[in-house]
Amino acid sequence: MLKKNLIKIIYGYRNLFKANKLDTISKYQEEISKINLLDNSIVNNFFFPKTKYDKNTVFINFFLSKIGILNLRYYLIKSFSGEEKFVAPFPNEWLNYLVKNNFKVNMFVSKLLFKFIVLKYFFYGILVNLKIILLIIKNFFSNDFKNFIFLNNINPTNLPSFLNKLEINSKKNYSFYDFYKLNIGNDENKLFLFSTANKELKKINSKKIENDTFSFSNYPVLVSLPFKDFIIFIRDTLVKILLSLISLITGKYWNVFLLSEQPLMSISRIKAKDHLPKEIFFHLSDLYHRPLWTYEMQNRGSNIYMIWYSTNNQANYNRTIEDKFFYDWSRIIWQNHVVWNENHKKWLLKYLKDKNQNIIFYNYLWFNDFPISLNLSNDRKYISVFPVAPYRKAYFSLFNEDEYQILTCKNQIKFIKDILESAMEKKYMILIKNKRVLGPHHDKMFINFLDNVDDRYIKIIKEDISPVKLLKKSVASINFPFTSTAYLAHNSGLPTAYYDVTGRLKNFSLDQNIDLLNNKSQLSEWINSLK
């Protein structure tokens, strides 16, 4: 079944490409996400946080994170594969929009599937509430946290080197923790709570590095309350479960979806202020997933940050529409954004509906680093090369509206081969680092190509090693458009360029001082000019 659906994605993408309508998916996605789903029922006030933002905006962001932006794109693209009827577990408002736009929708099945999801979230919400109640009871006599921060959805390479259990560490590392200590944090001793999917990190409890302590936690706080506050919590929980049941019966599904968010919202509102995190960090993987408890904690004085560790998401490969992106940026609502530079700030402000969100930049940003040294020869000269690993056809079709077909396996291989041929003329060795670990979603041909490169001229660097370490050992940096590694290189004073193998891109870089090379001749000339 999965293979059949992936094939439909490919067919849908091809049909859209042939009809020159790739951008219609984002058009539908954007218009759907702007539909008002809520009514004005007074019951809504019990489920939403206190915030200046309207309830529909808050809910849509949350709803898309649960339903999944990629799921929305999946169903839309699949509908162009030629199948007879559009079937998707969408709310009635979305289905009506699709009908008005000439989609052949199986309304009965789609509505039935959505009711099933709503029912599932009702029971899930009850289970979450019961789990939190039991945790509060369990933690009645635990010492509560003070002076701490929370890192959401963290990888091992975002944290200090000792957590990776390696015997050989580099003297200098460039993880997000290192970035935080240099720029955002202060000299106070802190407890770092973090959530993660990594099994090894989940075992960490009260480990210290210098004066900082690290502990895994599924929650941004210790799930505990004094007995008096616990009684208030129980009362509020029972009321919300009852109201959620009424909402389920009356079709106010949004309140049912929000039931699982209520326990942490209540705790954030009731708990003593000094037992809440001072700072909370999210990153691009959670761009739309702003939990409702963050609004309550922001009201209580916590600072909420979104870390823009990548800039490739601002690239536009569509020749017909200048400002067209995968997401509708206007709905993003975070208290603080940490971006790359002044131009990145201007670009983001251009799209944010709420211009009062605080945008911070330091002209560099560290995120991942594997704490080992590169051990490169001092007798060789190196050029750092940063491709964008291509996805398999089905996933490429799901992620991209690329009329130029820029991010293909063919182009990525040509990107590396052209650089290698030009670099060999000057006896440079090239260091290749992919942004992410290559897996089953990536193109097998590209993986095989890297597995069989000539190691006399090419060295593959582990994906999780910070690009800063490569740049410090290099005479230049060449980047596939428009990866953020170029900003790191350029800001360090290293000769830096983007190389467009298609020769058709405009310079959408956030730093117009970075060269865009549009053919192999320009590439060779640029490399020959290096000192």
Characterize the bridge pairing of strands 428-433 and 458-461: parallel
Q: Tokens in use for 530? A: 């290096």
DSSP 8-state symbol, 403: T
The model scores a pTM over 0.75: yes
In this structure, of 87-96, 206-215, 238-247, 295-304, the range with the lowest mean pLDDT score is 206-215
Distances (CA, A) of 233 to 123, 162, 242, 277: 19, 39, 14, 20
Predicted confidence at residue 314, as pLDDT, reads: 54
Residue 168 pLDDT greater than 50, yes or no: no
* Average pLDDT along the chain: 86
Q: Tokens in use for 143? A: 């010492």
Q: Tokens in use for 232? A: 């208030």
pLDDT band at residue 109, thresholds of 50, 70 and 90? very high
Predicted confidence at residue 258, as pLDDT, reads: 96
The domains of the chain, with CATH numbers, are 153-216 (no CATH), 381-528 (3.40.50.2000)
CA 140/CA 435 separation, integer angstroms? 44
Report whether 76 contacts 95 (CB < 8 A): no
What is the distance, to the nearest Å, from the Cα of residue 344 to the centroid of all Cα atoms in its chain? 17
Element (H, E) at 264: helix 262-270
Predicted confidence at residue 403, as pLDDT, reads: 54
Characterize the bridge pairing of strands 336-339 and 474-479: unpaired
Q: Is the dihedral of CA 250, 255, 256, 262 positive or negative?
A: negative
pLDDT, tens digit, for every residue of 455-514?
Answer: 888 999 988 889 999 999 999 999 998 888 988 898 888 999 999 998 887 776 666 788
Residue type, 156: P
Characterize the bridge pairing of strands 207-209 and 191-194: unpaired
CA 30/CA 26 separation, integer angstroms? 6
Q: In the predicted model, what is the mean pLDDT of residues 32-37?
A: 88
pLDDT, tens digit, for every residue of 371-429?
Answer: 777 878 888 899 999 998 888 877 777 766 665 578 889 999 999 999 999 998 889 99
Q: Region of 341 please: left (phi>0), alpha (psi -120 to 50) or beta.
A: beta
Report whether 262 contacts 208 (CB < 8 A): no
pLDDT, tens digit, for every residue of 5-31?
Answer: 778 878 888 888 888 777 788 788 888
pLDDT band at residue 180, thresholds of 50, 70 and 90? very high
Element (H, E) at 236: helix 227-250
CA 415/CA 520 separation, integer angstroms? 9
Q: In the predicted model, what is the mean pLDDT of residues 153-166?
A: 74
Q: Please report the beta strands in 416-517, taking only residues with DSSP state E, as ranges in sequence order.
A: 428-433, 458-461, 474-479, 496-499, 515-517
CA 413/CA 416 separation, integer angstroms? 5
CA 28/CA 22 separation, integer angstroms? 11
CA 312/CA 388 separation, integer angstroms? 9
Predicted confidence at residue 322, as pLDDT, reads: 47
Residue 4 pLDDT greater than 50, yes or no: yes
pLDDT, tens digit, for every residue of 127-159?
Answer: 999 999 999 999 998 989 988 999 999 988 898
